[in-house]
Amino acid sequence: MVSFLVNGSSVELVDNGDSLLDVLRDELGLIGTKDGCSPQGQCGCCTVLVDGEPRVACVTPARRVAGRAVVTIEGLAPEDRAQWGSALCRTGGSQCGFCTPGIIMRLESLTLRHEAATAESVRQALLAHLCRCTGWQTIIEAWEDREVTRHHARGMPEPDSGRDLEAAAERARLEGHAVQRIAPEVGLGHGGFAADTAPAGSLRAVVDESGRWFVAETLAEARRRAGKTQGRRTTADHVWPLQVPDGDWAATLRTTWVEPAYLETDASWCEPGGEPSSPLANGGGFGAKQRKGAPWSPVMEAARLLADEHGRAVLAVASREDTVRWGPKRPPVAGGVRADGTGVLRICSTPGVAATIALVAPGLVVEEVDVVGPATSNDLRGAGWVEALVLLSGASDEVGIVTAPNGARAWAEVTPTSIRVGVRCGRTLDHAVLRSYCVGASHMAYSWVTSEALSVDGDGEVHDLTIRSFGVLRAVDTPEIEIVVEPDDGPPINGSDAVFAAVAAATWRASGRPTEWPVGLLP
């Protein structure tokens, strides 16, 4: 047996080798602690406090905390939880809200240990975490907001007066291409994720590399039965699968495989005879979780079939390795363009991508090439048309305004220390949400151009299977981002995809327009 304190209450459990995360979620029902890397100890989503110090619960054996005091996000004082939730909602420091509970616990420990913590110390603390949505800056701003409340209000924060959260949710839906709630509790981990909402007593199911599903009472036991092994970061270099076509080009570009890197791995639960829950709980994984409305991963169908077979509710959960193997990647490109905007863009064959590129770059001949590799998708943020606009920008000495297929417009200026962006996308609806998505898109574009790549071998097998191996840029390496929302009385439309394109083009130009991405951090 092992005994310890959790949020002030004594617990005693059989020591069967499970991790602290397994115990907190499956045995104690503390779902605020999230599993984002399954478990690799790399994303920070499961961070809790052990005797006041931050610990990654997924790689901490429960026996290691015997006799110690564990605090999860549920165990924070009500006023602290309220302050964090309000600050994250007000600044846009959470979008899907999956990574933020762990970040809150990390920053709470920083506050406890260093009363005079600074924005720079917060950036350093965030080295233990990964966030794909927010671009880090709005999280740091949420910390600053909460510090003001903590020092001056010393209690429950006042609700945002006059803010229309329904309008904010509509702006989030436009930007994320999926339904998303906007509320203080979202940043505290209550986004309604499938792995959190499964009925009590549900069986757990995981899949092995052959595609066979294994079912058990707990996730840890299901993983043991399936013989799950942790993914690795390969030592093999990434490759560029396409060659730039021959020609007298003013600019050339070729990209490699890129992982969407959403934090919440695919999950779905179903009761016998019922309909499975959607993996799209509070965000769309930047288009990587669905294909024209249908899921990429088999978790929904697995949950339905297994629930009928076992006569009980079943939660089917993908590991990080599963999502990397199953999930679609951004289609690599290789192209050349002349000064007059004509040229050739080769792209890995992807249904619908040529028609989308033609909307923004009619002078480019699109050549789809069959390449051995992982699946690709035209649903990923700006797939194909962003690369086309970036390539066109490289053939001109003038920095222009990017116009997305939906008519949204954006411009960007990038230096090694700053990213300045302007966006016009109809009525704002909610400034905090629009700004948050544009900050996140700026980070994603800058990270994509400078540091992101995925190793895929000649047989099409992905070898980078850890979340840290995708190259997502850290908080300490991300420039300051300024967003200028330009007035527009037109119908509200997605603006962050245009920002993604504008920042990618500006980052490439600032790096000297080398042919191959990633280009490395700007000097």
Give me the mean pLDDT over the 474-503 stretch: 97
Query: Structural domain boundaries of the chain?
Result: 2-74, 76-192, 196-229+261-326, 333-510
- Please state which architecture CATH assigns to domain 2-74: Roll (3.10)
Contact 519, 508 (CB under 8 A): yes
Classify 410 in phi/psi space as left (phi over 0), alpha (psi -120 to 50) or beta. Answer: beta
pLDDT (tens digit per residue) in 312-338: 999 999 999 999 998 999 999 999 999
| Residue 295 reports pLDDT greater than 80 | no
pLDDT (tens digit per residue) in 399-427: 789 999 999 999 999 999 999 999 999 99
Give me the mean pLDDT over the 391-396 stretch: 92
Q: How far apart are CA 258 and CA 146, in angstroms?
A: 35
Would you state the pLDDT for residue 153?
A: 67
pLDDT (tens digit per residue) in 107-146: 999 988 776 789 999 999 999 999 999 999 999 999 999 9
Q: Among all chains, which residue has been given the structure tokens 């070898």? A: 463
pLDDT (tens digit per residue) in 44-55: 999 999 999 999
Give me the mean pLDDT over the 380-390 stretch: 97
Would you state the pLDDT for residue 387?
A: 98
What CATH number has the domain spanning 76-192? Answer: 1.10.150.120
| Residue 444 reports pLDDT greater than 60 | yes
pLDDT (tens digit per residue) in 355-375: 999 999 999 999 999 999 999
Give me the mean pLDDT over the 201-230 stretch: 94
Angle between helices 496-510 and 431-451 (to 10 degrees): 40
Would you state the pLDDT for residue 462?
A: 95
**Residue type at 513 in one-letter notation:** R
Would you state the pLDDT for residue 151?
A: 76
pLDDT (tens digit per residue) in 34-91: 999 988 899 999 999 999 999 999 999 999 999 999 999 999 999 999 999 999 999 9
**Residue type at 1 in one-letter notation:** M
Would you state the pLDDT for residue 441?
A: 98
Would you state the pLDDT for residue 292?
A: 62
Candidates 437, 413, 428, 411; CA nearest to 496 is 437
CB-based contacts of 358, cutoff 8 Å, min separation 6: 364, 366
pLDDT (tens digit per residue) in 236-288: 899 999 999 999 999 999 999 999 999 999 999 999 999 999 998 887 788 88
| Residue 224 reports pLDDT greater than 80 | yes
Angle between helices 385-394 and 496-510 (to 10 degrees): 40
- Please state which architecture CATH assigns to domain 333-510: 2-Layer Sandwich (3.30)
**Which two structure tokens, joined as six digits, stand for 126?**
């965030």
pTM above 0.85, yes or no: yes
Looking at per-residue confidence, does 167 or 289 come out higher? Answer: 167
Q: How many CB atoms lie within 10 A of CB 144?
A: 14
End-to-end CA distance of the chain: 55
Q: Could you tell me the pLDDT band of residue 293, with boundaries at 50, 70 and 90?
A: low
Contact 402, 385 (CB under 8 A): no
Q: Could you tell me the pLDDT band of residue 152, with boundaries at 50, 70 and 90?
A: confident
DSSP E strand boundaries for 62-179? 69-71
